[in-house]
Structure 1
């Protein structure tokens, strides 16, 4: 007989042994930097490059993620090499496209003493003009300096020459990011 108040009419199933939980790896985002965009599942590579088309920092996000939210993380990972001494964490100038045009990004760069060359999107310019004097003056923009922004596009083209990076075969973002770093080593090494 069992304990008073408990009635067991059948045996309970045996306790199952469970191995480690099957979640994301340590440091791996739950989404594995995969997200839906127009072309299906994709990953967005946010990077900083130097003037010689060499990558300096990488951040991976899902394909549908915006560009501006990843900017602080890219800047946090940035290390600008020097001939001697420690790498600098503050570049002289940041050249970006319109996707990074926000008051928060401009303010953050200004506080760190970094020159910004970011074009203003037409909707932001129209909003500023609509507000009149309250809209403030337009942000400074050096058209000649902005022509150098193509170094980032050329850096991405050099990275994507490796077929494993152009078509993401890796399941986890950690392994894909490792592939980016290995490719960057080859780009940085003298030929």
Structure 2
């Protein structure tokens, strides 16, 4: 076993196993060797064609990663690892933090083909491609933003990618919708943290109304312009929002999670053309962080 490869204990925890080969064609090669190749590429950020020969053909690793990103295999594996950790009581639901980070897009990740126009009378298969491919333009160049929810032990619970120029406040609800930890013993998956902590970028009436409706306690500081607007309205502006300074100090947990996630060079710099493939890259990196703990 080389540095960075899955150990025997980590491989046993990676359940459910990847899908078996379906349909025509030969058998799939050893999943463990291919997954080690995928993780090696994520850790180093090298091109797929430069994978060492000990991982087999580079195209096998590339095609399998692309397929598992498209059919949700990486997501299922992440949910299974999180479910095992939840059964052992190793998920810190007491405080969950949300934040975002911007990743530079490599020039090789730009220029993906757009979806063909729909022809009247012809049924188009469900497309996995986005119109924007989650790539935005700014003064710094092409960027992609990762919106992340992290638990108390600095491990990602859910991630969402958007173009780099998109704001944070509008993505709080989609990120929380990705929190879904199954319960193998039975019952509905857990989707609500005990407490949510975030900075003032997520302060909006829409987000607070959503959190109150779902009965999620939260610590989000109010912006100065919102405070002035509330005071200007007088009694119609409502009461000031509650703020727990001690809980707010734990907002650095998600920033430390981002730091660990960007330890994978294929996450810190986006090399994937398609948005769903980069989403799979981020999910596979999150699985690696859970297996390490």
Structure 1 153/138 Cα, relative in aligned 2: closer, same or farther at 3 Å?
same
Q: Does 1:114 pair with 2:206?
A: no
Q: Does 1:93 pair with 2:195?
A: yes
Following superposition, the deviation at residue 160 of structure 1 comes to 0.5
Alignment correspondent of 2:277: 175
What is the SS of the residue equivalent to 2:161?
Answer: strand
What is the SS of the residue equivalent to 2:115?
Answer: coil
What is the SS of the residue equivalent to 1:141?
Answer: coil
Q: Tell me the distance in 1 between the aligned counterparts of 2:197 and 2:289.
A: 21
Alignment correspondent of 2:257: 155
Q: Tell me the distance in 1 between the aligned counterparts of 2:181 and 2:243.
A: 23
Alignment correspondent of 1:184: 286
Q: Does 1:78 pair with 2:179?
A: yes
1:47 maps to which of 142, 148, 165: 148
2:115 maps to which of 13, 17, 23: 23
Alignment correspondent of 2:159: 58
Following superposition, the deviation at residue 132 of structure 1 comes to 2.2
Q: Tell me the distance in 2 between the aligned counterparts of 1:157 and 1:136.
A: 38
Tell me, yes or no, if the aligned pair for 1:80 and 1:91 is still in contact at 8 Å: no
Q: Tell me the distance in 1 between the aligned counterparts of 2:199 and 2:235.
A: 26
Unmatched 5+ stretches in structure 2: 1-112, 117-125
Q: Higher helix share goes to which structure? A: 2
* TM, length-normalised to structure 2: 0.55
Q: Tell me the distance in 1 between the aligned counterparts of 2:198 and 2:114.
A: 39
Structure 1 52/83 Cα, relative in aligned 2: closer, same or farther at 3 Å?
farther
Tell me, yes or no, if the aligned pair for 2:168 and 2:202 is still in contact at 8 Å: yes
1:123 maps to which of 225, 233, 241: 225
Following superposition, the deviation at residue 83 of structure 1 comes to 8.8
C-alpha RMSD of matched pairs (Å): 2.0
Q: Tell me the distance in 1 between the aligned counterparts of 2:191 and 2:145.
A: 23
1:66-123 CA-partner distances (Å, limit 9, x unpaired): 1122112111111246695554011111111111111111111111111011110111
Q: Does 1:132 pair with 2:234?
A: yes
Runs of 4+ in 1 over 4 A off after TM superposition: 80-86
Q: Tell me the distance in 2 between the aligned counterparts of 1:99 and 1:22.
A: 32
1:133-171 CA-partner distances (Å, limit 9, x unpaired): 222211111111011111111111111111111111111
Q: Which has the higher contact order (CA 8 A, sep 6+)?
A: 2
Unmatched 5+ stretches in structure 1: 1-20
